[in-house]
Homo-oligomer: A and B are copies of this chain.
Amino acid sequence: MNDKPRFDFTIHATDGKARTGEIAMRRGTIRTPAFMPVGTAATVKGVKPADVRATGADIILGNTYHLMLRPGAERVARLGGLHGFMGWDRPILTDSGGYQVMSLSDLTKRDENGVTFKSHLDGSRHTLSPERSIEIQRLLGSDIVMAFDELVPTTSTPEVQAAAMARSMRWAKRSRDAFDAGGVHAEGAAIFGIQQGALDQTLRGDSAGALIDIGFDGYAVGGLAVGEGQEAMFACLDFAPGQLPADKPRYLMGVGKPTDIVGAVERGIDMFDCVLPTRSGRTGQAFTRNGPLNIRNAKFAEDTGPLDPACGCPTCAHPEHGGSRAYLHHLVRSGEILGAMLMTEHNLWFYQAMMADLRAAIGEGRLKAFADAFRQAYDSHAERV
């Protein structure tokens, strides 16, 4: 794959602050704005890789924290890397593990070197540092490696937030240096830095400046979608993306609800990941152009229509042939695996169709009209229960 570019971001069109384009990488091209389905433990839960690809996904996300614990990064490397292991040959972005260490593990030590924690699976002790996080992502064979950063609760004092941001910038430099030192699967990979600074414009600006000084292939907006609410998040996104280089992809980590994504695209974000479509699919929530619906609701028991008439997923395409709301209601209420499978696949189709619609709207200079119509239909709650 040597004749292909390592990481070429091309902007095809802009519309206000929004941009559409593509990232050319050796394992494939990522159309932006892009949504990355989450494949936590080397699987997008409940969907075969070929069916994930059929939704329109150009890239998926893998979780360093989960994979380092099980099956283990060195094991994945011995087995040839994550792509062959799980049967996904297109780009994979791996997070750094920092977020999950804070949210899932029993954190036992945190200092300038890194963090020590106990596994949520078996209580075993592990350490993560910028160097070890990058090494793990290399071992997995990640295409887009994320810098290792420090997260603190949003309820922390401004002083704690500032200190965590400053440490994250020192760790960003160490991450970049570790990345540049090479290692297995080094060829063709890219690395993103992560802007921190909570909701503070000055801290965000300082963070962006530090990252730009180091230099990255792309820049993530970190530390949002952690409970601050859409209004506060959008207020931050009114300035944060503009502090990052215009010629590099901007990735809003862990976002989000459909209207979060539309609003963030309007504010200049190019990449997203979120467990919402997959996790919701397993609990019976379907996304539709008229808002979310809970398929468990009794009113769907004899509903012969599809989840969303405008959806192109294999289930919605054939309501009369195993694709009715009534059938999905039955499957989900019965706890059948197929219910989780079909609901998840539908939700991924919904998300990818939304991204395709956003890309087309930006390309044709009609993003505001599209976004307003999307929000109006989505918030109509026609099917909300």
A binding-site residues for B, Cβ under 8 Å: 41-43, 45-49, 70-71, 75, 78-80, 84-89, 282, 301-302, 304, 318, 320-324, 326-327, 330-331, 333-334, 336-338, 340-342
Query: Which residue among A85, A320, A333 has the maximum number of chain B CB atoms within 10 Å of its CB?
Result: A85
Other A-B contacts than A70-B334, A75-B302, A84-B321, 9 sampled, CB-CB below 8 A, are A41-B330, A43-B336, A45-B337, A48-B342, A71-B326, A85-B322, A85-B324, A87-B321, A89-B321
A341-B46 in contact (CB<8A): yes
Whether the Cβ atoms of B45 and A333 lie closer than 8 Å is no
Check if B337 sits within 8 Å of A79, measured CB to CB: no
Query: Which residues from B are CB-within-8-Å of A324?
Result: 79, 85
B-chain residues with CB within 8 Å of residue A78 when the two chains form the complex = 302
Closest B-chain residue to A70, C-beta based? B334
Pairwise interchain contact B85-A327, C-beta atoms closer than 8 A: yes
- A282 contacts across to B, CB distance below 8 A: 337
Given contacts A321-B84, A322-B85, contact A43 B338 (CB under 8 A): yes
Which residues on the B side are within 8 Å of A86 (C-beta)?
Answer: 322, 327
Provide the residues of chain B in CB contact with A320, threshold 8 Å: 80, 84
Known: A84-B322, A324-B85. A48 touches B301 (CB 8 A): no
Min Cβ gap A24→B in Å is 23
Q: How far apart sit A45 and B334, CA to CA, in the bound complex (Å)? A: 11
Which residue of B301, B326, B334, B337 is within 8 Å of A341 (Cβ)? B337
A201 to chain B, nearest CB (A): 42
Taking CB as reference atom, which chain B residue is nearest A327?
B85
**Is A331's CB under 8 angstroms from B87's CB?**
no
* Docked CA distance A89–B46 (Å): 24
Q: Which residue of B lies closest to A51 (CB)?
A: B48
Shortest Cβ-Cβ A-B pairs, 7 listed: A87-B322, A46-B337, A43-B338, A87-B321, A71-B330, A41-B334, A43-B336
> Within the complex, what minimum Cβ distance (angstroms) separates A165 from chain B?
34
Contact A337 to B334, CB < 8 A, known contacts A88-B322, A302-B79: no
Contacts of A342 in B (CB 8 A): 48
Given A84-B321, A85-B322, A327-B85: A336 and B304 interface contact (C-beta under 8 Å): no
Q: Are B46's CB and A338's CB within 8 A?
A: yes
Distance in Å: Cβ of A89 to nearest Cβ of chain B: 7
**Bound Cα distance from A87 to B318, whole angstroms:** 8
Q: How far is the CA of A106 from the CA of B249 in the complex (A)?
A: 62
Determine which of B43, B89, B322 lies in contact with A49 in the assembled complex, contact meaning CB atoms within 8 Å. B322
Chain B residues near A326 (CB-CB < 8 A): 71, 75, 79, 85
Could you list 6 examples of A-B contacts with CB < 8 Å?
A42-B327, A46-B341, A79-B324, A85-B322, A87-B321, A337-B341
* Complex contact A71–B301 (CB within 8 A): yes
- A71 contacts across to B, CB distance below 8 A: 301, 326, 330
Bound-state Cα–Cα, A84 to B323, Å = 9
A48 contact from B42, B327, B341, Cβ within 8 A: B341
Please, which residues of chain B bring their CB within 8 A of the CB of A304? 79-80
A325 to chain B, nearest CB (A): 10
Chain B residue with the shortest CB-CB distance to A337:
B46
